[in-house]
Amino acid sequence: MKLKLMNLWKNYKSLLYEVFPELYHHSTWAEWEGKGTSLTAKLYGTDKDWYINKSREVEIWNEKSCIYNTIIYPRTGENLPCFGMDLMGFFEKKVIIVFDFQHPIENCPFSVQGLPKAEQDYRFFEMGNHFSDNIYVRYCTFAEVDEHLDMFKKYLTVYRDMLESKKPSQNLMYKTYHDFDKYMRKLDPVGGYLSGKFGKEKSESLVNDFLFTYG
The catalytic residue positions are: 86, 188
Q: Measure CA 2 to chain center.
A: 22
Q: Distance (Å, rounded) from C-alpha 156 to C-alpha 112?
A: 12
Core vs surface per residue 103-137: b (16+ CB within 10 A) or e = bbeeeeebebeebeebeeeeeebebeebbbbbbbb
CA gap 94, 206 in Å, rounded: 25
- The DSSP secondary-structure symbol of 167 reads -
Is residue 172 within 8 A of residue 75, CB to CB? The reply is yes
95: left (phi over 0), alpha (psi -120 to 50) or beta: beta
